[in-house]
Amino acid sequence: GPIYCSIDDLPREDRFLQVNVLCPCILPGPKEPNQIQLNHALEPPIKEIAILKNGVYLFLCVQMDVHGEDTQADVYTDLFLLNCDTPAIQKFNGVAGHGHNIHPCFYCDTTLPDIDTQKGYDNSWNEKTDFSMLRQAFNAKDAAPAREKGILDGYGIHWSPLNLIPGWRPVSLAVLDFMHNIFLGVISHLFTTVLFSSYMFSGIGGINSPKQKFEDLINAVKWPSHVTRLPKNLGENQSLKKADEWRRLLTITPVLLWWVWKDDDDEIPDSAPPIPPNAKHVPEHSRNCKSLYDTILLLCAGVRILASRTITMAQAHLGQNFLLQYCQRCLDLKIHLIINHHLSMHYIGMIKRFGPVYGWWLFAFERFNGMLEKVNVNGHDGGRMEVTLLRNWVQTHLLYELLLSLPDNAHELERKILDQIVKDEARQRGGMVTQIAVFRSKASTDGVKLPKRRKEKFVDLHSLNPVGRVYPLLLEYVQQSWPNLQLVDEYSQDPGTLFWGRKSATIINYVRKNGIHYGCTSNQRTQADSFAFIVKDGRRIPAELNTLLVVHVANKDPHVCALVRRFTSDENIPTFPWDFLASLLGIHVSYANAFEELEVIPISAVDAPLALIPIHSRKIHQDLWVSGSFDHVNIHYDTIHYINRLITDRSRA
């Protein structure tokens, strides 16, 4: 498999672009190398890292050019952290595997039997230290096989070339990947072992069975266009391959489980569903729906907090505490836990050292693996496949440089040919040049990326639907936005600057904000992504994006705003079992197809995409919409206040 090196000095949005990621080597296959083979393969890149750290210039001691500078610069680097899936990081780091009876965890002294007991989750373990592990690693370096095995069994480590890097710390600098550990580990275990394999979604009842309800609701969800779709037959084919799919599923899990398990009174019963008569085994753990639901809510809350782009240490402790309570509740319900559950208890130290997991999880690198899998290697062995993959990676870097950095004196024919390549590749979608096509097709206004090709003709605000209401709304909005301009109605006799109804705004069909696509219902081609969460009066509220406008006023820069209608919600909507964590989980319930009056907001107030889940309430006999926030990488400030209250209450208790 490939080894990637990202440059952590770059901003997060640039750090994981393929053009900025190095691939120094690809480990030969097809079989996974053993520890000795891996150590030999790691020696060349580790030697180069050590050279750079000592300040000696790589590539025959040639100094590196710096953009905008006349003199070359001395380049220093360091291995900031090591991040792989759990088996790989244990091999790279030379520590015992996760199936080791005494040292399954490379962060503490918890044993394998402790993983399935309260002892593995009561914070009573002793943390392993970097220097004691390094000492034993060097003891094992030249030891005889029997002595080396004794060190591995006694201390959980053997030799790795990483230890040759000055300042390398095998415990502190080896991080646990959130994507593999939580999404592919803990969440996958929840659904496959605790729910699917335990007949919690029985097929008894035909079209009204829990399994059919489970599948129907997933298929009824209106997802944002940029997210990974879930399989339509998930009720029958109960498995997911991608971490992003488990991530999507967890987002709607509080609503999904309530919909599947609720009784005639819309309440989750304090009992277990019947086991099918043809069941191959009887689950040993509790199948009580209410107990399981309350437990799973803790996991949903913990994952949402820990996966945030920005996070304080107090919030990280709260998210860690939610995961801790989830594991302890699972043990109370006699649910068998695995190594991933215990390893997830160690995120606090990693977040403190390296920041939010969003900055170092492996989603980008898994995407790179997918790109390399599409390279035609013709099945050649003997190392030729690996060379072909590396050549493809270098070629991609050179293409990026060619397409994005043409010299000023480039011939017009060259530009036309390259532009045609970009357009042709963009039609195929998914290729490297598609990213360039997307990059080139946007223009930036007000910090928001707009379609480069858009109608420049001004729209008549008086004729926009609803006729006669858009102009006064927009006039009031611009008056509040720029009071110093003294804007007045175009038919007014008052002194001031006239706000023209036919020469002040243009319509756009979509915008991209923070890389997310937002559409509007006035778009005649598609109404995708026309629902979103907006921020109003310090609250996050779901709304319909009716029309997107670029406003031109006097000498001000073009300003992007939106005509929106909030979803209607009131105190008559019944309570739901997720309500006490609704703000944290990003869940909002409203009446279906019911909206408030039209209003104007700046595009900066559009906060996050949403997934729309249609449900029916038997208590009030009405259809409802459940909006789930897809802002997976940010905690809104009203939620932060809620979290801070939880932290305060917990400290008082």
pLDDT of 291 over the 90 cut: yes
The pLDDT assigned to 626 comes to 97
End-to-end CA distance of the chain: 49
Q: Is residue 272 part of a domain?
A: yes
pLDDT of 593 over the 60 cut: yes
The pLDDT assigned to 434 comes to 46
> Who wins on pLDDT, 32 or 324?
324
The pLDDT assigned to 635 comes to 58
Three-class secondary structure of residue 64 per DSSP: strand
| One-letter amino acid of 240 | L
pLDDT average, residue stretch 594-612: 93
Burial 240-257 (b: 16+ CB within 10 A, else e): beebbbbbbbbbbbbbbb
- 579 and 537 part of one domain: yes
Q: Is residue 377 part of a domain?
A: no
The pLDDT assigned to 16 comes to 86
Question: What contacts 382, CB < 8 A, 6 or more positions away?
Answer: none
- 580 and 648 part of one domain: yes
d(CA 508, CA 450): 8
pLDDT average, residue stretch 314-331: 95
Rounded to 5 degrees, φ, ψ at 480 are -75, -30
- 147 and 235 part of one domain: no
What is the percent of the chain where pLDDT is above 90?
Answer: 48
Spatial strand order of the sheet with 442-445 comes to 442-445, 448-451, 511-513, 516-518
- 314 and 434 part of one domain: no
- The number of residues making up the chain comes to 653
Q: Is residue 12 part of a domain?
A: no
pLDDT average, residue stretch 626-644: 64
Mean pLDDT of the chain: 86
pLDDT of 597 over the 50 cut: yes
The pLDDT assigned to 445 comes to 44
pLDDT average, residue stretch 430-438: 48
pLDDT of 402 over the 70 cut: yes
Q: Which of the listed residues 150, 176, 202 is the one where a domain comes to its end? A: 176
Biggest alpha carbon distance in the chain? 97
Question: Hey, what are 104's tokens?
Answer: 């399954």
Mark out the alpha helices in 177-242 (DSSP H runs).
178, 188-189, 210-220
Give per-residue pLDDT as tens, 85-109: 898 899 999 999 999 999 999 999 9
The pLDDT assigned to 440 comes to 46
Question: What contacts 464, CB < 8 A, 6 or more positions away?
Answer: 470, 471, 547
d(CA 214, CA 197): 15
- Residue identified by tokens 């803990």 is 186
- 314 and 398 part of one domain: no
pLDDT average, residue stretch 581-595: 94
pLDDT average, residue stretch 513-534: 89
- 291 and 354 part of one domain: yes
Q: Which of the listed residues 143, 176, 209 is the one where a domain comes to its end? A: 176
Number of domains present in the structure of the chain: 4
Give per-residue pLDDT as tens, 62-84: 467 776 788 887 777 788 888 98
Question: What contacts 152, CB < 8 A, 6 or more positions away?
Answer: 96, 140, 158
Nearest to 170 by CA among 180, 179, 161, 181: 161
DSSP 362: S
Three-class secondary structure of residue 529 per DSSP: coil
Question: Hey, what are 425's tokens?
Answer: 């590749």
Distances (CA, A) of 557 to 176, 440, 515: 46, 22, 22
Three-class secondary structure of residue 97 per DSSP: coil
- 593 and 630 part of one domain: yes
Whether residue 472 has a cis bond before it, omega within 30° of 0: no
> Who wins on pLDDT, 433 or 259?
259
> Are residues 104 and 339 in contact, defined by beta-carbon separation less than 8 angstroms?
yes
Q: Is 191 exposed, middle or buried (0-12, 13-18, 19+ CB in 10 A)?
A: buried
Q: Is residue 7 part of a domain?
A: no
Q: Is residue 399 part of a domain?
A: yes
pLDDT of 639 over the 60 cut: no
pLDDT average, residue stretch 548-565: 90
Burial 74-113 (b: 16+ CB within 10 A, else e): eeebebbebbbbbebbbbbbbbbbbebeebbbbbbebbbe
Cross-strand pairs, 497: 487
- 41 and 122 part of one domain: yes
- Residue identified by tokens 């609701």 is 217
pLDDT of 645 over the 80 cut: no
Query: What residue numbers bound the domain in which 323 lies?
Result: 178-359
pLDDT average, residue stretch 588-617: 94
Query: What value, to the nearest 5°, has the Cα angle with vertex 542 and ends 527 and 604?
Result: 85
The pLDDT assigned to 442 comes to 43
Give per-residue pLDDT as tens, 203-240: 777 788 888 999 999 999 999 988 877 888 776 777 77
Query: What value, to the nearest 5°, has the Cα angle with vertex 518 and ends 517 and 522?
Result: 135
d(CA 57, CA 51): 7
The pLDDT assigned to 382 comes to 67
Distances (CA, A) of 600 to 236, 487, 550, 597: 45, 17, 12, 10
- 485 and 396 part of one domain: no
The pLDDT assigned to 37 comes to 86
- 514 and 643 part of one domain: yes
Question: Hey, what are 113's tokens?
Answer: 């039997």
The pLDDT assigned to 15 comes to 85
Q: Is residue 378 part of a domain?
A: no
What CATH number is associated with residue 520?
Answer: 2.30.30
> Are residues 214 and 202 in contact, defined by beta-carbon separation less than 8 angstroms?
no
Give per-residue pLDDT as tens, 334-378: 999 999 999 999 999 999 999 999 889 998 898 898 888 888 877
* pLDDT band at residue 430 using 50, 70 and 90 as cut-offs: very low
pLDDT of 270 over the 90 cut: yes
CB atoms within 10 A of CB 385: 18
Q: Is residue 506 part of a domain?
A: yes
> Who wins on pLDDT, 436 or 15?
15
pLDDT of 307 over the 50 cut: yes
pLDDT average, residue stretch 507-512: 90
- 423 and 314 part of one domain: no
- 128 and 233 part of one domain: no
